[in-house]
Every structure is written in structure tokens, then in C-alpha cells.
């Protein structure tokens, strides 16, 4: 829930200016109370939107009476008096600093501002005819024109940065404050050598999103979306024959594994892969995996009956063992598929002729009436 902030303003005991107070944390339109103890007390609220460098008096109502926008001391403490005595209300006021100027009277007097607490107020100082980006300022703006000037000071606004129209005009030749309603991408001062104030023209407003509300309760979790492959790749090798313009990728049998790095089936050629693939080739026979869950599948055609198995970081994966599906004289096709969980970044995967077996495995070339190269395929798909 949003909190309120209340700021007391120092009122000097005699004619002069009280110490400024930082009021940039008050939400737009704070309530104002200024009260003197004597009819002679004349107190003015002044504000700054340029960091406290220049100030201008605030208009408490739309009336220009009194012309100095002075808040007088009270005549009767029990009767509400619109212009004499206690005064409240500041429209869309947004300011960085505020202070009280005492024109007359002596003795105690009080002044204060109160509003919701905010961190969303924004401020901009108009640098002459150079456009200033005000696109993030809310639609109700406080414009402060401080100092003296020789002619009307016209503030212009634009929604496209090309065409500008008048937003408001200061023509009293003295410091003044106006409230305007409108959203502008850029604001500037209309060029005029006589209309350059000795102080500054600055703008204050709440941010577009307004005062943040309380955080609502978390909603229920939505249903899980459909799964899909995170990454995939295909590696393969070819025997001699039609479709392979070069020599066979398998000039020698695949020996049985006897030590680390031996007994591996080569897949020396790269097939399709996705664009953000994290699996990298280590050499012609092995591939480095990121952490995750993988579906591994392969097809290898050998002349001798035998078995093949996945090796992960030098260790056999027993659940992956496969053997020849058609033990005939025409060769032996071994097709395997397995899910593995990898917990070691960069773990090396290979398909091996398992240790302890007897035969080396010859990759079967095209024979008889078959003329096309035989393909050995390894596919790796990351699914989680």
C-alpha cells in the first residue's frame, strides 16, 4: 500500500525567505496548508523544478486576486476564508524544491505540504529553442518560469519533433507558475531575444505510469507447454560407392576397445544441425556434450556379427548395448537407441565395439548388385 509523506516548510520570523525543502517525493497535487497568526502576515509558496537554482510563486487558485498570489494571515481562525487565512489545494503541482517567502508580518507562522509518496516524478529544464525530450512526463505538468524577461515567454510542445504549437505563455514579466494538461514528445521555448528569462523555464510532472499500486497476489501456474528438441545434430560416414566421390570412410575394421580412445566407430562427416547447437566434434569418432538429457540413436552395418555400445567419458553405458539384427551372410545391421543423462560439461560420447568381445568389425561395403555407398549414422538430440 502506498504511504503518505508530510513535509513542513520553514517560515521566517520576519520578511525574508525560509530554507528550501526537497519535495520531489510528493505525488502530483499535494495538499497545502499555509497559515499566519496575524492579518499582516503575507506568505508566498515558491517552488523550483530546476534543482533549486530558481524559484517562482505558486498560484493557489485560478484567480489573480491577490495579484502577488500572496497567502495572507487569518482574520478569524474559525471561518474558512478562500484567500485570507488558511489556504489549501495545489492542482497538479509537481516540484523538486519548495520554500516560503515572507513579505510582511512577524512572529510564528506555519506551512506544509502532504501527498502520497512517489519516486516517479520527472523534471526537465527547457534550454531555449533547443527541443528537450519530455516524452516520459505525465500529461499534467507544472511549468515554472523564473526571473524577469522583456517580452512574452511562450512554451511550445510537439508530438512529432517537427511541428510545434504553443502550450502556455508567461507575460507578467516576473516569475510565475502555470499548470498545463497535455502529453508532448518534445518541449521548447519559442525563439525570441526579448523572451529569455533571467532564471529558467522548467517542467515537472509525474511519470506516465503514475503512482505504483500494491502488488497483487500471484496467479496460479499455467499448464506446462509441449516438449520439443532443444538441439540436434547428425554425423555419418560412407563406404565407397555411388554417392561418395572419395574413398571409403572405413578403410580398416573397428577393433575391440582395449583402452581409452580405442574401439570407436568413426562418423567423420557432418550432417544437419540446428543453429544454436552446443555439441561439438572432438575428432572423427567422438563428440563433446553439454549438461542435459540426450536421445542417442545410430545405425551401423558390419560384415561380422557383433555388438555396439555407447561410451560416455570413457565408461560404457550398459543400457545402450545393441547387437546385430540379421545374422546372415549378407551382413549385420545394428540399430541402437538410448536416453542418457549427462551431468559433466564437455563429457565425450562415442559408439564403441565393447571390450571383451572377440571380432573386429568390418563396415560392410556395397556388394553384389548394390552399387551405392552404405551409410553409418549417429544422431544426437538434446531433449532437456
pLDDT tens readout for residues 355-365: 999 889 999 88
The mean pLDDT of 321-345, rounded to a whole number, is 84
Q: How many residues does the chain have?
A: 384
- Phi and psi angles of residue 156, each rounded to the nearest 5 degrees, phi first: -115, 150
Q: Helix (H, G, I), strand (E, B), or coil: what is residue 176?
A: strand
* Residue tagged 498570489 (cell numbers): 69
Task: Report the Cα–Cα distance between both ends of the chain, in Å, rounded.
Answer: 42
305 or 68, greater pLDDT: 305
The CATH number assigned to the domain with range 231-382 reads 2.60.120.40
Is the pLDDT at 40 greater than 80, yes or no? no
212 or 120, greater pLDDT: 120
CB 238 within 8 A of CB 368: no
Q: Can you give the three-state secondary structure of 100-146, one letter per residue?
A: EEEEECCCCEEEEEEEEECCCEEEEECECCECEECCCEEEEEEEEEC
The CATH number assigned to the domain with range 122-207 reads 2.60.120
CB 296 within 8 A of CB 337: yes
The mean pLDDT of 7-22, rounded to a whole number, is 93
CB 231 within 8 A of CB 274: yes
pLDDT tens digits, 132-183: 999 999 888 999 999 988 889 999 999 999 999 999 999 878 888 888 988 9
Do 4-116 and 122-207 agree at the fold level?
yes
For the chain, what are the domain ranges?
4-116, 122-207, 231-382
Q: Does domain 4-116 have CATH number 1.10.3470?
A: no
Strand order in the sheet with 292-302: 269-273, 231-238, 375-382, 292-302, 332-342
Amino acid at each position: 500500500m502506498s504511504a503518505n509523506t508530510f513535509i513542513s516548510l520553514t517560515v521566517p520570523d520576519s520578511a525574508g525567505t525560509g530554507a528550501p525543502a526537497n519535495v520531489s517525493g510528493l505525488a502530483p497535487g499535494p495538499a497545502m496548508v499555509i497559515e499566519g497568526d496575524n492579518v499582516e502576515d503575507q506568505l508566498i509558496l515558491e517552488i523550483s523544478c530546476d534543482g533549486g537554482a530558481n524559484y517562482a510563486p505558486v498560484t493557489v487558485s485560478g484567480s489573480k486576486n491577490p495579484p502577488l498570489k500572496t497567502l495572507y494571515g487569518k482574520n478569524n481562525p474559525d471561518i474558512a476564508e478562500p484567500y485570507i487565512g488558511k489556504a489549501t489545494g495545489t492542482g497538479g503541482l509537481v516540484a523538486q524544491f519548495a520554500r516560503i517567502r515572507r513579505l510582511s508580518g512577524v512572529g510564528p507562522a506555519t506551512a506544509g505540504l502532504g501527498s502520497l509518496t512517489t519516486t516517479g516524478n520527472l523534471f526537465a529544464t527547457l534550454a531555449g529553442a533547443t527541443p528537450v525530450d519530455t516524452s516520459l512526463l505525465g500529461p499534467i505538468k507544472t511549468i515554472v518560469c523564473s526571473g524577469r524577461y522583456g517580452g512574452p515567454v511562450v512554451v511550445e510542445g510537439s508530438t512529432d519533433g517537427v511541428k510545434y504549437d504553443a502550450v502556455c505563455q508567461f507575460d507578467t514579466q516576473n516569475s510565475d507558475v502555470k499548470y498545463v494538461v497535455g502529453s508532448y514528445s518534445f518541449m521548447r521555448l519559442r525563439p525570441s531575444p526579448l523572451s529569455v528569462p533571467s532564471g529558467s523555464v522548467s517542467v515537472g510532472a509525474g511519470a506516465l505510469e503514475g503512482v505504483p499500486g500494491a502488488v497483487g497476489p500471484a496467479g496460479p501456474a499455467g499448464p506446462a507447454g509441449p516438449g520439443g528438441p532443444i538441439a540436434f545434430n547428425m554425423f555419418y560416414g560412407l563406404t565407397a560407392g555411388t554417392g561418395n566421390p572419395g574413398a571409403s570412410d572405413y578403410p580398416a575394421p573397428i577393433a575391440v576397445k582395449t583402452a581409452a580412445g580405442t574401439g570407436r566407430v568413426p562418423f567423420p562427416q557432418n550432417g544437419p544441425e540446428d543453429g544454436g547447437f552446443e555439441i561439438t566434434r572432438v575428432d572423427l569418432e567422438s563428440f563433446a556434450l553439454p549438461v542435459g538429457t540426450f536421445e542417442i540413436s545410430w545405425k551401423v552395418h558390419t560384415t561380422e556379427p557383433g555388438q555396439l555400445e555407447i561410451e560416455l567419458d570413457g565408461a560404457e553405458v550398459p543400457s545402450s548395448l545393441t547387437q546385430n539384427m540379421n545374422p546372415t551372410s549378407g551382413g549385420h545391421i545394428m540399430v541402437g537407441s538410448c536416453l542418457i543423462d549427462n551431468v559433466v560439461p564437455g563429457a565425450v560420447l562415442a559408439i564403441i565395439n565393447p571390450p571383451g568381445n572377440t571380432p573386429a568389425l568390418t563396415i560392410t561395403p556395397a556388394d553384389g548388385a548394390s552399387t551405392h555407398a552404405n551409410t553409418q549414422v549417429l544422431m544426437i538430440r538434446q531433449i532437456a
